[in-house]
């Protein structure tokens, strides 16, 4: 009996080992080949947090017919870019690059230098003529400067993807009888009113957060802009200060900006949790009707509007918050024509696969196809009922339970004009009388267009340091990630440290690699000039 | 047992070898199931501990992930030299050591005290209920525990409500540097202390009841019995656990710190693990961070060796 038991246990052990070994081997099987002349393309960008797109998504099915590719976008967590970059590095380490993907964190230089991404110089002109001509020549010059020979194109640039700007709750202002502020002093008056009164009208005068940002001092650019600080999404940039290209965070103007924000924080006008707000928490406060004013992509305002409206804040009105003027500083809102690298193609792809993917990207980025794209796909963007096209809101198609979201994605060329044009078209195909949700969707688009209009007329300036290659940060990872700046700005603003520590920050920044990086940036800038 | 001793023609050594082999064969045959059961463990060590050790070599290279190990340039001690010049390295080192030592100081005795206390609970239903409640947090991930702490310590959290009720002012403790290390230690106590009692309770269960009876007859009260019998009886177990804990000290747990860390607390909370993650995994500086990992390993090994030597003097020690 005992012997039998021993044998059976032994056998089970051996079997489990064999099964484990087989399992490892099985994991290495090739991806199932799609149809005969259809190529599967794995696509990664930051939008995938919104939903996955697999081979069965109506858009993938349509793309197979239209371009001969199956467009697959797996779920890649974004988390401000950190998780995305980590996942991407993991795939690089495994030798399994996605086919077409957005590089992040300055990784494109490394990819190009090591031959990991394909040379697109000839192909982009042939397969993407509209996009090629829409991207300004100076951006192509910069893209070419990233290549080893200085003449080749390895990266498709993302151009003016989003106008970024301040927002303020118009309905809160109405309730308090205040106009949209245009100067720093007016803004402080409004913030005080938000703090002291029941601006959101819920009966509690104490739950309003006048303004807020995110951890690392991100998305608070509206508070830095009045001081002439070059900054994109909370990351300080290189711009001309005292006639030379320099890092904006180590300028005396930054000291003044921090001093002002320190005052706001002490007065309770800046969210006490601003430096620990994660994306989700921050978004939750905005859509929870708690934040009066914030900074974000203007074209995303529609999404906030819709959530607020659908949660019962039916009188919600979002206003564009212009760049706040300061009497002593020449403020501006930072923009960059070249926003970031849009796409690279893995060097492992066949030329045919690259060509087909490029045709799809050309179609997505051609302003002439925008109506076709916005009409979208049956089952995702609309349903056919009684022979009539019924538009679906985000809530509707989520309720369909397919897990799909409207997902044309992959747009790397757009500007205020293109976005506004798209919104006008969308408004023309929405019937606002059908349901409150539809009204919200409609209202959000009107709202976004008004904001884009405000942005276009505002003090917006493209900075001198917009064309700096990631290689200037080589060997200084903490300088590239602005870690030192994030630590000092947070601790000084919340009052943990005195304002005099700012000088220590400047000193430490230069000593820990800032000097070298500044010299490199100035050399590149001089060469570009 | 049959032997060949006494047969002069056969050399003694050969005879001995033959015997041992036969003996080994017999023991291995006899306990072959046990040997079989060891195989997965050995494989695990080979696969996940021994083979990856080869990766240490990239600390001496300018490792290029695209070119691979063979084609990367050898640079000797360049990364170690950089490490010791890098101003943040000392901060990271200091933080790692300080948090680890505080963890030993508070985290190690906590389960012992808890086990001693639990052992004194006489009502078995209450004891079991308590044990379940105490074990539970161990099964929460650090993400959940960090979220829980952030919630408890938020402006409207229960801690601030108590502070306000006592006449104090609300404060956001999670972004105060001075509170970071206590928060890490407290969260560790909350999560691990209960589960840590299991080994000690088992050790306590193994104590001969006659010792207690004898002590009671001699007039020892409850406290005296704990101090004179229970505590000395579990001391050897505690010493082994301490040594194991010190060995794993530098592997403090990435997620444990990372989930609590914000730019406001980098100064006091950035440790080796978080630094390696930030610079190595997201910035792709593999060689530099491997050098840091190697240094970290040396520190951990040195600590284990020193503690083992100390224990050997007391008659204990693992080797």
Length of chain B measured in residues: 319
Coil/strand/helix, residue B32: helix
Distance CA A32, CA A21 (A): 22
Is residue B2 pLDDT above 60, yes or no?
no
Coil/strand/helix, residue A329: strand
The domain limits of chain B are 1-32, 91-142+171-313
Is residue B85 pLDDT above 60, yes or no?
yes
Query: Average model confidence (pLDDT) for chain B?
Result: 86
Residue B80 has what pLDDT? 92
* Single pTM value for the model: 0.80
Contacts of A272 in chain B (CB under 8 A): 155, 172
Residue A508 has what pLDDT? 93
Q: Using the beta-carbon criterion (under 8 Å), do A215 and B262 form an inter-chain contact?
A: yes
**CATH code for B91-142+171-313?**
1.10.3720.10
Residue B225: CB partners within 8 Å, gap ≥ 6? B212, B215, B216
The predicted model gives B286-295 an average pLDDT of: 89
In chain A, which residue's Cα lies nearest the Cα of B154? A273
Is residue A507 pLDDT above 80, yes or no?
yes
Is residue B10 pLDDT above 60, yes or no?
no
Is residue A31 pLDDT above 50, yes or no?
no
Per-residue pLDDT tens over the stretch A353-377: 999 999 999 998 888 888 888 777 7
> Which position has the higher pLDDT, A409 or B303?
B303
User: Counting one residue from A and one from B, how many pairs have CB atoms under 8 Å apart?
Assistant: 89
Angle at B142 between CA B139 and CA B144, to 5 degrees: 80
Which residues of chain A from 476 to 515 reach within 8 Å of chain B, CB to CB? Answer: 477-478, 480-481, 483, 486-487, 490-491, 494, 496, 508, 511-512
Residue A280: CB partners within 8 Å, gap ≥ 6? none
Q: Which helix (H) or strand (E) holds A44?
A: strand A39-44
% of chain A beyond a pLDDT of 90: 53
Burial string for A456-487 (b: 16+ CB within 10 Å, else e) reads bebebbebbbbbbbbbbbbebbbbbbbbbbbb
> Which position has the higher pLDDT, B248 or A501?
A501
Is residue B162 pLDDT above 80, yes or no?
yes
Q: Which helix (H) or strand (E) holds A483?
A: helix A483-493
Residue A41: closest CA among A20, A68, A19, A22: A68
Chain B closest CA to A114's CA: distance in Å? Answer: 6
Per-residue pLDDT tens over the stretch A456-475: 888 899 899 988 988 899 88
Is residue A505 pLDDT above 90, yes or no?
yes
**Least confident stretch, A4-13, B22-31, B42-51:** A4-13
Residue A327 has what pLDDT? 96
Q: Choosing among B157, B284, B289, which should be mutated to test the A contact, i.e. which has the most A CBs within 10 A?
A: B284
ipTM exceeding 0.85? no
Residue A207: closest CA among A215, A216, A198: A198
In chain B, which residue's Cα lies nearest the Cα of A216? B263
Coil/strand/helix, residue B229: helix
Contacts of A480 in chain B (CB under 8 A): 283
Distance CA B283, CA B277 (A): 9
Q: Using the beta-carbon criterion (under 8 Å), do B32 and A86 form an inter-chain contact?
A: no
Residue A331: closest CA among A415, A230, A218: A230
Number of helices (H), then strands (E), belonging to chain B: the values are 17, 2
Contacts of A486 in chain B (CB under 8 A): 263
With 0-12 / 13-18 / 19 or more C-beta atoms within 10 angstroms meaning exposed / middle / buried, residue B166 is exposed
Coil/strand/helix, residue A344: strand
* Of A13, A276, A481, Cβ closest to residue B175: A276
Residue B15 has what pLDDT? 47
The predicted model gives A45-66 an average pLDDT of: 78
Distance CA A524, CA B7 (A): 90
> Which position has the higher pLDDT, B9 or A414?
A414
User: Domains, chain A, ranges and CATH?
Assistant: 39-159+339-369 (3.40.190.10), 164-336+460-528 (3.40.190.10)
Say which residue the tokens 């794209």 belong to: A373
Distance CA B171, CA B154 (A): 8
Residue B285 has what pLDDT? 85
* Of B33, B88, B284, Cβ closest to residue A6: B33
Q: Using the beta-carbon criterion (under 8 Å), do B32 and A10 form an inter-chain contact?
A: yes
Residue A499: CB partners within 8 Å, gap ≥ 6? A255, A258, A259, A262, A492
Cα–Cα distances (Å) from A106 to A148, A150, A233, A472, A495, in that order, read 16, 18, 16, 10, 33
Residue A28 has what pLDDT? 35
**Least confident stretch, A24-38, A365-379, B150-164:** A24-38
Q: How confident is the model at residue A6 (pLDDT cuts 50, 70, 90)?
A: low
Residue A173: CB partners within 8 Å, gap ≥ 6? A179, A180, A190, A319
């Amino acid at each position: 009996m005992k012997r039998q038991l021993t044998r059976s246990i032994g056998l089970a052990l051996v079997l489990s080992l064999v099964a484990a070994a087989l399992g490892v081997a099985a994991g290495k099987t090739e991806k199932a080949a799609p149809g005969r002349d259809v190529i599967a393309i794995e696509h990664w960008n930051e939008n995938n947090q919104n939903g996955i797109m697999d081979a069965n998504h109506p858009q993938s099915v349509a793309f197979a017919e239209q371009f001969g590719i199956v467009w697959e976008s797996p779920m890649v967590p974004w988390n401000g870019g950190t998780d995305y970059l980590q996942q991407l590095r993991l795939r690089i380490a495994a030798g399994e690059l996605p086919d077409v993907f957005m590089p992040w964190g300055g990784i494109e230089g490394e990819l190009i230098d090591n031959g990991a991404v394909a040379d697109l110089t000839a192909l982009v002109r042939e397969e993407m003529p509209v996009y090629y001509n829409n991207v300004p020549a100076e951006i192509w010059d910069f893209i070419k400067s990233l290549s080893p020979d200085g003449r080749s194109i390895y990266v498709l640039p993302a151009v003016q993807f989003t106008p970024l700007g301040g927002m303020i709750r118009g309905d809160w202002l109405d309730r308090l009888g205040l106009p949209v502020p245009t100067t720093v002093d007016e803004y402080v008056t409004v913030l005080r009113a938000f703090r002291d009164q029941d601006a959101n009208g819920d009966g509690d005068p104490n739950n309003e957060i006048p303004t807020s940002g995110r951890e690392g001092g991100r998305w608070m650019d509206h508070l830095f802009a009045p001081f002439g600080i070059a900054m994109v999404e909370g990351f300080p940039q290189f711009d001309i200060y005292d006639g030379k290209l320099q890092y904006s965070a180590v300028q005396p103007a930054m000291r003044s900006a921090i001093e002002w924000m320190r005052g706001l924080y002490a007065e309770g006008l800046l969210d006490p949790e601003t430096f620990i707000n994660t994306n989700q928490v921050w978004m939750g406060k905005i859509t929870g009707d708690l934040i009066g004013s914030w900074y974000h992509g203007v074209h995303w305002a529609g999404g906030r509007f819709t959530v607020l409206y659908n949660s019962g804040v039916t009188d919600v009105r979002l206003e564009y918050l212009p760049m706040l003027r300061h009497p002593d500083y020449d403020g501006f809102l930072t923009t960059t024509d070249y926003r970031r690298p849009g796409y690279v193609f893995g060097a492992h792809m066949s030329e045919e696969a690259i060509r087909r993917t490029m045709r799809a990207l050309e179609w997505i980025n051609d302003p002439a196809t925008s109506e076709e794209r916005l009409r979208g796909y049956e089952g995702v963007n609309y349903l056919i009922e009684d022979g009539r096209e019924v538009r679906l809101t985000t809530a509707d198609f989520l309720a369909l339970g397919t897990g799909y979201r409207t997902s044309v994605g992959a747009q790397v060329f757009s500007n205020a004009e293109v976005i506004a044009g798209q919104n006008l078209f969308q408004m023309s195909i929405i019937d606002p009388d059908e349901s409150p949700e539809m009204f919200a969707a409609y209202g959000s688009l009107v709202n976004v267009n008004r904001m884009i209009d405000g942005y276009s007329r505002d003090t917006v300036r493209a900075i001198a340091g917009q064309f700096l290659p990631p290689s200037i940060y080589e060997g200084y990872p903490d300088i590239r990630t602005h870690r030192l700046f994030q630590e000092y700005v947070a601790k000084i603003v919340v009052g943990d440290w005195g304002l005099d520590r700012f000088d220590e920050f400047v000193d430490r920044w230069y000593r820990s690699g800032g000097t070298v990086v500044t010299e490199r940036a100035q050399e590149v800038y001089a060469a570009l000039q | 047992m049959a032997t060949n001793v006494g047969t002069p023609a056969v050399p003694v050594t050969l005879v001995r070898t033959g015997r041992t082999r036969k003996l080994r064969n017999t023991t291995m045959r006899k306990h072959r199931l046990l040997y079989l059961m060891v195989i997965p463990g050995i494989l695990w060590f080979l696969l996940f501990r021994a083979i990856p050790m080869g990766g240490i070599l990239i600390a001496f290279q300018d490792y290029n992930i695209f070119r691979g190990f063979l084609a990367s340039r050898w640079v000797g001690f360049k990364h170690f030299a950089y490490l010791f010049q890098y101003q943040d390295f000392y901060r990271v080192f200091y933080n790692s050591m300080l948090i680890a030592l505080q963890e030993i100081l508070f985290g190690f005795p906590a389960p012992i005290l808890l086990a001693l206390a639990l052992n004194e609970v006489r009502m078995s239903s209450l004891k079991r209920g308590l044990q379940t409640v105490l074990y539970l947090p161990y099964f929460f991930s650090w993400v959940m525990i960090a979220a829980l702490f952030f919630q408890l310590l938020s402006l409207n959290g229960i801690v601030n409500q108590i502070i306000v009720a006592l006449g104090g002012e609300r404060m956001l403790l999670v972004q105060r540097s001075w509170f970071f290390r206590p928060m890490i230690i407290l969260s560790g106590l909350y999560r691990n202390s209960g589960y840590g009692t299991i080994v000690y309770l088992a050790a306590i269960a193994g104590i001969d009841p006659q010792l207690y009876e004898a002590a009671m007859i001699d007039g020892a009260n409850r406290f005296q019995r704990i101090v004179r019998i229970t505590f000395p009886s579990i001391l050897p177990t505690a010493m082994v656990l301490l040594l194991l804990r010190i060995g794993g000290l530098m592997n403090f747990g990435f997620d444990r710190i990372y989930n609590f860390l914000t730019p406001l607390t980098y100064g006091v909370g950035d440790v080796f693990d978080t630094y390696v993650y930030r610079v190595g995994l997201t910035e792709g500086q593999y060689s530099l961070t491997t050098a840091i990992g190697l240094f970290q390993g040396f520190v951990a090994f040195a600590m284990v060796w020193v503690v083992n030597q100390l224990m050997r003097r007391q008659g204990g020690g693992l080797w």
